[in-house]
Structure 1
Amino acid sequence: MSGVCTGRVVIVTGAGRGLGRAHALAFAAEGAKVVVNDVGAALDGSGGSSGPADDVVAEIRAAGGEAVADGHDVADWAGARGVIERAVAEFGRLDVLVNNAGILRDRMVVSLDEAEWDAVVRVHLKGHAAMLHHAAAYWRTEAKQGRPVDARVINTSSGAGLLGSVGQGCYSAAKAGILGLTLVAAAELARYGVTVNAIAPAARTRMTEAAFADTMAAPEAGAFDAMAPENVSPLLVWLGGNDAEAAKVTGRVFELDGGRITVADGWRRGPTVEIGRRWEPGELSAVVPALLAESNPPEPVYGS
């Protein structure tokens, strides 16, 4: 290992299993001190246990690393503050926040009920916002008190947030919201020495194994496992590490799967028509089709 995160203090939310576990282990292997946050809930968000977080901490310590478990609910405003406070109390500082916690309540829009919508948006979008708010407040205070800040936030979106996914309306909306939050936070927090980026990973986890069982099956022995969660973590470790080039990257979204890294370009202004006055509705039957003919067609929604 290169030790690119030596001396860094990292929070990883939802770190008891899947991608979060892989991230926590990868950061620790590169010298970071890690707060392993996880409530130990089921995939739908029900229940809870300290076991998953404790197991990851034990694994990190057995390998010679430093880590502590944290069971705060990141989607609770006070709970999110508690995670930040735990990092500072245990390790004296905070350098990197990886927002990863999430749940699933998949439904077609016509079948979706209010409680399912609220649960998914709460954990994904509010959980990101609450953690980001309290981490940003900590770093702003540090900066105003004259202490140098070289901090990173890495948010977790999804291909569903970029393109949409049939049967995942609330999940797609929450993940798209995380992308918007990432762009705003990157612009607002640059003055304090904080970068904010997002990833849209594809990997075999509890959240994907049912929906993509055929395409995410484990490979034969000896073959490269393109869907292993561990494939996603190296870019996060680099973004969160001490490399000076990483400090220049902010407001970007990366799609990650296997050995592939793709920069997602996001919304851009396309063909435009301007007439200098208000349009009449009847005029638009020729104008709008012409604009669409000049533009790139949208990528298909997953599952469509």
Structure 2
Amino acid sequence: MIDLSGRVAIVTGAGGGLGREHALLLAARGARVVVNDVAQAAADAVAYEIRKAGGEAIGVGASVTDFDAVKAMVDATITRWNKVDILINNAGILRDKTFAKMDLADFQLVIDVHLMGSVNCTKAVWDHMRAQNYGRIVMTTSSSGLYGNFGQSNYGAAKMALVGLMQTLALEGARNNIRVNCIAPTAATQMLDGLLPQAEMERLRPAQVSPGIVVLVGDDAPTRTILCAGAGSFEAAHITLTQGVHIGQGPAAPEAIVASWPKIVDRKDEFVPDAGERQGRLELQKAGYTRDSGKAN
């Protein structure tokens, strides 16, 4: 059993939907929970629900776009419970339109809430987690970012950016036992109202995603994982690199790329790089360069 007793968790956007379910389940597993929401009343209601069930929780009304407010929330949490072990970056909004019709203000707002909101919250806990040599952070990405979705260029861009943030923070946090992962949920929340048939909405209950959160914040959690979750099903998404081919340079290089396209995109023996520099190492290797020799062969 994954026991979170003694752990302190902050869940953003937890006044309803996915965040509420995450907060309730973390509390049921023993964590003390800071329920954050832009609406104080909503945060307080979920915190009360947790306390009524025998758990420990407080509600904090703050926008994740306001770093000073986020920092104050983290500082208050540490004052009250001496630490922060878990951060669930869940807060989000939608402003769906095709890119042709989208106002740039709506693009910026979605980036500010999803991406910069997660950056703000993570930055506020990062040094504390490093000092205590323990941290579990979950970013909320989306299939819209991983694979695209019509009318969601702003949302998709923000959600894919969170994957890049997760990849790097997982590497930087490893020495201090900070594990950083993404969850890509499919859930019937207010954000999906009117977008899916009612029969599908009924099957996509937010509570069915939250068990994945528990796994991603436990002592034995993975790191650098993109966990997809919906309707009680769980999958993993990967950003892979094909083996590709070496073309070289010259006036006919573009045409050679076209001629070699089937080999370039061939997924046989594709792999998940351990870091971004792995792409460069693979390309140099195919070009006949090795670090041992220090020169092209």
TM-score bin (small chain): 0.7 to 0.9
Q: CA deviation at 1:285?
A: 6.5
Q: CA deviation at 1:240?
A: 1.6
Q: Which residue of the partner structure matches residue 5 of structure 2?
A: 6
* 8 Å Cα contact 2:228-2:237 kept in structure 1: yes
Q: Which residue of the partner structure matches residue 72 of structure 2?
A: 82
Within the candidate set 134, 143, 147, 1:159 is matched to 143
Q: Match for 2:152: what amino acid?
A: Q
The structure, 1 or 2, with the larger RCO (C-alpha pairs under 8 Å, 6+ apart) is 1
**TM superposition score normalised by structure 2:** 0.85
Within the candidate set 224, 230, 240, 2:207 is matched to 230
Map of 1:108-187 to 2, 5 A cutoff? 108-140=98-130, 142-143=131-132, 149-187=133-171
How many pairs were matched up? 268
RMSD across aligned positions (CA):
1.9
Map of 1:256-267 to 2, 5 A cutoff? 256-266=229-239
**TM superposition score normalised by structure 1:** 0.83
The structure that has the greater radius of gyration is: 2
Q: CA deviation at 1:215?
A: 5.4
Percent identity over the alignment is 37
Q: Match for 1:133: what amino acid?
A: K
* 8 Å Cα contact 2:11-2:36 kept in structure 1: yes
**What SS does the corresponding residue of 2:227 show, helix, strand or coil?**
strand
- Give me the whole-angstrom Cα distance separating, in 2, the residues matched to 1:181 and 1:285: 31
Q: CA deviation at 1:80?
A: 2.2
Structure 2 unaligned spans of 5+: 269-297
Map of 1:267-286 to 2, 5 A cutoff? 268-278=240-250, 280=252, 283-284=255-256, 286=258
The structure-2 alpha-carbon separation of the partners of 1:271 and 1:69, relative to structure 1 and needing over 3 Å to count, comes to same
Structure 1 unaligned spans of 5+: 41-49, 144-148, 219-225, 297-304
Q: CA deviation at 1:210?
A: 2.2
Q: CA deviation at 1:263?
A: 1.1
The structure-2 alpha-carbon separation of the partners of 1:282 and 1:265, relative to structure 1 and needing over 3 Å to count, comes to closer
